[in-house]
Structure 1
Amino acid sequence: MNAVEIESAISDLALEPFDASEFPYAFLAAFGNKGTALKRLRAGNNNTSDVPGGVLLRNNIHIAVCDVDNVGETLTGLHASPATAKGKVKFILATDGQTIQIKELATCDLVACEFEDLPNHFGFLLPLAGISTIKEIKENPIDVRATSRLNKLYVELLSENPDWAKAERRADMNHFMARLVFCFFAEDTDIFHGDGLFTKTVEQYSERDGSNSHEVLSEIFRAMDLKLAERPSVEPRLPGWANKFPYVNGGLFAGSTDTPRFTRMARTYLLHAGNLNWQKINPDIFGSMIQAVADDEERGALGMHYTSVPNILKVLNPLFLDDLRGQLEAAGDNKAKLLNLRKRIARIRVFDPACGSGNFLVIAYKQMREIEAAINQRRSEAHNKSEIPLTNFRGIELRDFPAEIARLALIIAEYQCDVLYRGQQDALEEFLPLDAQNWIICGNALRLDWLSVCPPTGTGVKVLSDDLFGTPLNQSEIDFENDGGETYVCGNPPYKGSKWQTDDQKSDMVSAWQKHPKLAKTTDYVTGWIAKFLEYVDNESNAVGAFVATNSICQGQQAIDVWPATFQRGCEIRFAHTSFKWANLASHNAGVTVVIVGLGKRSSVPKKLYQDELLKQCSAIGPYLVPDSLAYVQKANAPIGEQAPMLFGNMPRDGGNLILDSGLGSQMKFDESVQPFIRGLIGSDELINGRKRYCLWIEEGQQNKAMTSAFIAERLSLVAESRGKSDAESTRGFAARPYRFVQIAGYSQVSSIVVAKVSSETREYLPVGLLPSDTIVSDLAFGLYDAPLWNLALIASRIHLVWIATVCGKLETRYRYSNTLGWNTFPVPLLTEQNKADLTDCAEAILLAREAHFPATIADLYAPDSMPANLRHAHERNDEVLERIYIGRRFKNDTERLEKLFELYTKMTAGQAKVAPRTKKEKSA
């Protein structure tokens, strides 16, 4: 279940009559626990509670329903309960149906409230559904609650008004929702000068069955588009109750006042939404959630659409906010320096060409207002009107509804900042009417000229719109002065890999990468924004940009493609964050692994590389986000060091007829005519999961003897038939030799080291194994045939995994091994015979540690949370021995590992190593 679904279930539970015996199970069901698990709890099979009336779900919660006025004592009893400790629960909960107390054991945080008030605290409980939440939602879940209410209303209205669900009217529906959001916020912040004016008016003047709700709303919307002086003469006359609403302007209520028709339930949903406290809405969180309401594909992930403030600040802080804060600190109380800084801030433009619902822009605005407020405080000008115009926060968004929400979110953020820094009275006096200027463009960022949206200096915007909330394509110019101002481009563009791009998106990429057409075909969709940024800084050389992107653009072939082209255009990576999870409110905090890259024209300023919470300053950041190295890795046909050759496994192309499953293979081993020709067969799946497969392996010269077996003769006949029908000429050529694999890369006389081609990114070490000579490596793995065992120690090391993850890239999020790009290029120092002996001992220790847990598989043994202690110790010993060979000690982190590897790679491939090109001017210099 997602956060919105949980909020809805908890709200329903709080409204139902309290049933003491049923409550624990209804509560657990609200957090997505399955009926089968609850059935076992009811039966007492899995309920280990030792508290009267208690229900305990292991690793989750211990609940007890108690007598009236006994909640506190019951909670204390739950805390002291041995079953609570043994069950490793996260929360304890006690209730008498009137009040409820809940304690999070890890933090000792406590919620105590009336039972019906429970929905206001559901954010506190989201970890019960495996959802990692953020401080703002945990303490004030209004954003999720508001999203939940609006989603119910939206779905109900589309059901009642199917014509509004069609493409030609969906924009009207979305515009209607934006109007509602504004009204809910305005009535709770006194912008409407009346407590709950909007909701109370709808409730009082609309019929209970909802039949005239659309008419009431239409009149309210009409009133807010009319100046007070115009109202007495307008026809038809406004009802007196509508005349209470202020003139809003800004285009939000301009044009049609057509409103979808309501059912009784839709009216109820609207009133429930209005009864929330919208004053505490976080526009940066709420905006990104609400955009999913209007998107059929995204609605299933409703409530997950937010980007946490700390993650956004990982982009904005090094981009420009850290510099502003540094200038503020340096200015101290010097009024002249503070004034200059305030003027500088007022001319800064923040441009997000993939702005969605505007959360990057909103956070940037709020942070800049905070700095400006500190300046005003030091200058004794706390009540000064802000000099930071909203029009300096530019955006491009493909879809109209998020673009509307982005503008609305910025307007709400401006009002909230005014209240915070200047007071409610000043904020109210200047809020209405809204300004009709438009600064969020609805369009395709990979097709538009960014200079037309966010020009470098002076006045004017060429991509224009009718009004603030209209379709932005024909507006009068925004008149603002920005001479000498700075431009910062930022955002979190779509990530789609080249294989998953639609035809339109592929066309977008061709348009974006005009100067590097090859890259349009092979790179992730997000790189289109890098291409457009390069084009933008060709004309606005002082602009600096920072984008969130999948880490795949700094790995494997994409790193080789994207970054040399970027550097060739005179740009550099100014700062970067190495890989981390870009999390959301999905269950178990699912999120894509991303990097952040900050770009600008080449400069002498120190570069900043962030890994987790560590910062390293360096002279350059390379394609793989490695400090002080611009080298990139090219495929090699043979190892650059003294490690053994690694070859592909063997490919049968047999229609499945040379392959035997576990049962048939085991059976045929007892057939004397077949047994000499049966070998084990190992690919990645068999290596990792311990599955058994076999193959028929017939050497040249053995085919006649093999054919004396009727079983083999029949199988080879099917192989010949299958190959003869193949579209590949090379395969058809082997129809005459059905007894052998088509591609035989190699096999061993003594043993083979086998390496998985694709494996999970959750393991700390790459899957590698040692096979006897009677086992064949399939084409779904790599093999080192009769190689010294110390090679296995290299492959099983942390430093090798880091190299593979960096230079080979990934398949989705899984490690994708390559012999030519990963193994052959792996830089290993010159090894002494003692080094090799030590590494051989380490490899043997790893294999023996695994053997001690037979029949556990690699999948079992290398599960991140349950790796056996002896196996972990063997790997740590292997890492220590190997890393001491590199630098005489253990590496501090993966960044240091990569630094050393690239330094060594550059030395070992001197004259061959590729270095990202510089401009002609820099070459001559």
Structure 2
Amino acid sequence: MKSTKELEQAAKHFIQKYKDKSNEKSSAQSFWIDFLGIFAPNPTEKIEFEKRVSLSHTSFIDAYIPHAKTLIEQKSSGIDLNKAKKQSDGSELTPFEQAKRYNDELPYSQKARYIIVCNFDEFHIHDMENPKDPPQIINFADLTKQIHRFTFLSQSKNDELKALALAKQSELSFKAARLIRQIQDELIALYAAATPSGEPSEQDFASINMLLTRLVFCFYADDSGVFARHDMFGAYLATHKANMRQAILDVFSMLSTPEHKRSKFADPELLAFPYTNGGLFEFYDENIPQFNDKLAELIIDKATFGFDFSLISPTIFGGLFESTLNPETRRSGGMHYTSIENIEKLIKPLFLDKLESELDEIIAIKQKDTKDKKLIEFQKKLGSLCFFDPACGSGNFLTQTFLCLRELENKALKERFTDKSGTFQGVLEGFDTCGICVDINNFYGIEINSFATAVAKTALHIADKQMRKATNELIHANLEYLPLRDFENILCANALNVSWHEHCPKADFIIGNPPFIGARMMNETQKADLIKASNNAKNAGNLDYVTAWFFKACEYMKQNPATKTAFVATNSICQGEQVALLWKPLFESGVSIDFAYTSFKWDNSVDFGTGKKEKADKKMAAVYVIIAGFSLNNSSEKYIFTGNSRILVSNINGYLVDAPNIAIESRSKPLCDVPEIRKGNQPTDGGHLIIENEDYADFITKEPKAKKYIKRLIG
């Protein structure tokens, strides 16, 4: 993607060329080819004109940009873009309504995310993600300053293919998570039936979580070539279905036993399972029930033989796997599923964009020897970077970061082992695991939930296996995967009560999505943790829980000044009284905000490319968040992201605007002679007195007499 300055310069030339506009037909095509050329090379190959669409008659879309999912309705200069005009079928439509009608008739895969209506004087940008919102209106004369609002046109074909692949992985990962939840439900029922109270104990839930984690690894190993034969685990369980409990215990025991310590008289089928190590099967847990027929069917027929776990995304699946926890447990802990798109909003401006640009510059070097030397240095640089997520949940930030870095390393490896014509030359003799520099042991996390901790470790191991397989296929190497390496970097603890520096002595980047819990929703323990993390800052009890991680990160960076941090957080920390309570002391300690995403909706749902989104937790309320990247380095280039816009600014203050670091502190008295407000309209009932729209109809059907007691909630 071009820099802001490059875009502005190109826009300036465009304005000069088209300042004398003509009519729609004679100028539209050259106008849009040149305009798209500001953002993308070879624009004539990336835009379609007069695209046919069938209404009650055949009509034509003026212009359509497939890779950016953008539909253009072009009118002549002077035409009022807000005025309806009679159409050939007698209807009266504004230019936007006309374009929207075309868009509605397109196949789902071609439907536009953006509709641009233009008359050469103005551009009206409609984002169909929010179809009821008013359009962004940009005057032609202001294009130089407003060109960043069109950066969605920069999307490449590779991005589109990546998005399609991600949608497929999302669909498969969600199906896998639902399957695991079915297995979990059956296990809970079996444990409950064997417990006098009728409820599994805390130890039972720990055993269920460990069993699920181990089963998931075996399902993945069965499908991805980790085990000696495809479906090896499933075939063994099917053979020993009569006593499946013991069969599973025997497999787990064998996976944790090195070959030289195994009995030569053991079952040959068991001896065929490789030594796994890595702590995953280290502890022998006999607290496993006898499996009934339904559970056996789910594990053998549905999971091992009926589903391919090798195709899942470890990042997506990790978050969804975590969602098998009781939703109440998830909400009380403040955990949220995080999409890959939202993860990359944080990691790309923090470090990934710079690394990608650096690799592209190296690949452009003509001299092969010089290029190879630089590529090796780049690999070593990637391998030296250390990442730390002190609220890692199921590890999706760490896992996605690992995958992105390994993709860069694979790209570097491919370049090293191909000649100028792109022909594969072969890998160096003796190239093995040591030739890979990015290692999961450079990824650290802290997580309070033991099950999520286990999921995070498993997700990283699966990501490691997937990327080794990709490396093998890319450069015809033969990287071994087993035994797993010991991996103790994910600590199960309360991140606010342990030393980050002792757990992770020198992180280059701190990343993550700390718990979203409002100032009035914390329990006493959480409130005490926050006050301690803030060093008893004045009125710290009025801050959201997430701010504790900001204070802890600031203390960490004082010991490691080169460390950069970026967190997702509730948008309230950049509004009202919290700005003075949080950002004022951080700025005074030397912190500066390097980049920020202004408020956007945190969507805990997965789009399978069908137009429907299925929530990881349907009861979870909508949350509006910001992303703040900050450090002690006071970066010379600071960016504010709003939607698809990226704006270069001179400073980012606590309100996430380009302005000096001021903070409006709370007042004890009103500015004028009005009654003093003690507390505003703030629902702090925990949701117990609020009924959601989707529940209302069902409730009234069951309790019609309650209707008169339910009033509309207005905030």
Q: TM-score, normalised by structure 1?
A: 0.50
Q: 1:266 aligns with which of 295, 304, 308?
A: 295
- Tell me the residue number matched to 1:406: 456
Gaps of 5+ in 1: 1-87, 93-102, 110-126, 128-133, 457-485, 652-755, 761-809, 814-858, 864-925
2:275 is aligned, of 223, 244, 247, to 247
| Counterpart pick for 1:335 among 360, 365, 372 | 372
Name 1:348's counterpart in structure 2: 385
Q: Using a 3 Å threshold, how does the CA distance of structure 1 residues 543 and 240 change in structure 2: closer, same or farther?
A: same
**Cα shift at 1:535:** 0.9
SS at match of 1:286: helix
2:568 maps to a residue whose letter is V
Q: Which residue of 1 aligns with 2:438?
A: 388
Superposition map of 1:673-684 within 5 A: none
Structure 2 counterpart of 1:647: 674
Q: Secondary structure at the match of 2:568?
A: strand
Give the equivalent residue in structure 1 for 2:260: 229
What one-letter code is carried by the residue in structure 2 that aligns with 1:647? V
Is residue 471 of structure 2 the alignment partner of residue 421 of structure 1? Answer: yes
What whole-Å deviation, never above 9, does each CA across 1:578-605 have from its counterpart, x for those lacking one? 0011101236996310000111004252
Cα root mean square deviation, aligned: 3.6
Does residue 603 in structure 1 map to residue 623 in structure 2?
no
Q: 1:435 to 1:601 in 2, by over 3 A?
A: same
Q: 1:193 aligns with which of 201, 213, 228?
A: 228
Name the counterpart of 2:84: none
State the match for 2:541 in structure 1. 521
Equivalent residue in structure 2 for 1:294, among 313, 316, 325 = 325
Matched, 1:152 2:182: yes
Q: Does 1:549 align with 2:586?
A: no
User: What are the residue-to-residue correspondences of 1:421-570 with 2, within 5 Å?
Assistant: 421-423=471-473, 429-456=479-506, 487-514=508-535, 516-570=536-590
What CA deviation, in whole Å up to 9, does each residue of 1:343-397 have, x standing for no partner? Answer: 2111001110000111101111111112112222222278553111111111111
Q: Distance in 2 between matches of 1:612 and 1:535?
A: 31
Structure 1 CA distance for aligned equivalents of residues 677 and 351 of structure 2: 54
Q: What's 1:182 paired with?
A: 217
CA positional deviation for 1:511: 2.3
Matches within 5 A, 1:21-170: 105-107=107-109, 135=164, 138-140=167-169, 141-162=171-192, 165-170=200-205
Can you list the C-alpha shifts for 1:19-72, whole angstroms capped at 9, x where unaligned? xxxxxxxxxxxxxxxxxxxxxxxxxxxxxxxxxxxxxxxxxxxxxxxxxxxxxx
Per the alignment, residue 466 of structure 1 pairs with none
The answer on whether the counterparts of 2:468 and 2:481 sit within 8 Å (CA) in structure 1 is no
For the pair 1:368 / 2:395, whether they are aligned, the reply is: no
Q: Counterpart amino acid of 2:280? A: L
Please give the per-residue CA displacement for 1:409-460, whole angstroms capped at 9, x wherever unaligned. Answer: 111111111212322997875101111231111111111111111112xxxx
- Post-superposition shift, 1:520? 3.3
Distance 2:274 2:530 in 1: 46
Alpha-carbon deviation of 1:398?
Answer: 0.5
* Contact persistence 2:219–2:233 (CA under 8 A): yes
Structure having greater relative contact order (Cα 8 Å, sep ≥ 6): 2
SS at match of 2:624: strand
Shift of 1:137: 6.7
Q: Please give the alpha-carbon distance, in whole angstroms, between the structure 2 residues aligned to 1:606 and 1:650.
A: 42
3-state SS of paired residue (2:378): helix
Amino acid at match of 1:325: E
SS at match of 1:421: helix
Query: Partners in 2 of 1:345 and 1:197 — Cα distance?
Result: 36
Q: Which amino acid in the other structure matches residue 219 of structure 2? A: F
How far does the alpha carbon of each residue in 1:784-837 deviate from its partner, in whole angstroms, 9 at most, with x for none?
Answer: xxxxxxxxxxxxxxxxxxxxxxxxxx9999xxxxxxxxxxxxxxxxxxxxxxxx
Q: Distance in 1 between matches of 2:340 and 2:635?
A: 30
* Corresponding letter in the other structure for 2:495: A
Q: How many residue pairs were aligned?
A: 502
Asked if the contact 1:289–1:305 (Cα under 8 Å) also holds between the matched residues in 2, the reply is: no
Query: Which residues in structure 2 correspond to 1:809-824 (within 5 Å)?
Result: none
Determine the structure 2 residue equivalent to 1:278: 309
Return 5+ residue gaps in structure 2 as ranges.
Answer: 1-99, 112-128, 130-162, 366-370, 419-425, 606-614, 688-711
**How much does 1:562 deviate?**
0.3
Report if the CA contact (8 A) 2:472-2:479 is conserved: no
CA gap of 1:424–1:186, structure 2 versus 1, over 3 A, is farther
**2:414 pairs with 363, 377, 381, which one?**
377
SS, match of residue 198 in structure 1: helix
Q: CA deviation at 1:630?
A: 1.3
Does the Cα contact within 8 Å between 2:594 and 2:652 map onto a contact in 1?
yes
Cα deviation for residue 175 of structure 1 reads 1.2
Shift of residue 255 of structure 1?
2.1
Residue 294 of structure 2 aligns with an amino acid whose one-letter code is: M
Distance verdict in 2 for CA 1:505–1:90, change over 3 Å: farther
What is the CA–CA distance in structure 1 between the aligned matches of 2:537 and 2:544, rounded to whole Å? 14
Q: Distance in 2 between matches of 1:239 and 1:296?
A: 42
Seen in structure 2, the aligned counterparts of structure 1 residues 443 and 135 have a Cα distance that, compared at 3 Å, is: farther
Aligned to 2:73: none
Q: Secondary structure at the match of 2:480?
A: helix
How does the TM-score come out when normalised to structure 2?
0.64
Q: In the superposition, relative to structure 1, how do residues 517 and 143 fare at CA in structure 2: closer, same or farther (>3 Å)?
A: same
Could you report, residue by residue, the CA deviation over 1:105-125 in whole angstroms, capped at 9, with x for unpaired residues?
Answer: 44369xxxxxxxxxxxxxxxx
1:204 is matched with 239
User: Residues of 1 paired with 2:587 and 2:336: CA distance?
Assistant: 34
- Matched residues in 2 for 1:175 and 1:411: separation? 15
CA contact (8 A) 2:236 2:269 kept: yes
Q: CA deviation at 1:243?
A: 2.1
The within-5 A match list for 1:876-891 is: none
- In structure 1, C-alpha distance between the alignment counterparts of 2:453 and 2:110, rounded to whole Å: 41
Closer, same or farther: CA 213–356 of 1 in aligned 2, 3 Å: same
Shift of 1:226: 1.7
Kept in 2, the 8 Å contact 1:225–1:253? The answer is yes
> Is residue 221–residue 257 contact of structure 1 (8 Å, CA) maintained in 2?
no
Distance 1:757 1:232, change over 3 A: closer
Taking the aligned partners of 2:348 and 2:673, their CA distance within structure 1 comes to 45
Whole-Å Cα distance in 2 between the matches of residues 202 and 181 of structure 1? 14
Distance 1:242 1:592 in 2: 49
Residue pair 1:552, 1:558 contacting (<8 A) in 2 also:
yes
CA distance in 1, matches of 2:452, 2:326: 10
Q: Secondary structure in 2 aligned to 1:107? A: helix
Give 1:649 shift.
9.2
CA contact (8 A) 1:575 1:598 kept: yes
The equivalences for 1:606-645 within 5 A come to 606-634=637-665
The letter for the 2-side match of 1:172 is: S
| Shift in CA distance, 232/573, structure 1 to aligned 2, threshold 3 Å | same
Give me the whole-angstrom Cα distance separating, in 1, the residues matched to 2:266 and 2:284. Answer: 16
Most deviating of 580-589 and 323-332: 580-589
| Counterpart secondary structure, 1:578 | strand
- Residues 594 and 635 in structure 2, CA contact (< 8 A), matched pair in contact too: no
Q: 2:249 aligns with which of 207, 215, 218?
A: 218
State which structure, 1 or 2, has the greater radius of gyration over its C-alpha atoms. Answer: 1
d(CA) in 1 for partners of 2:477 and 2:462? Answer: 11
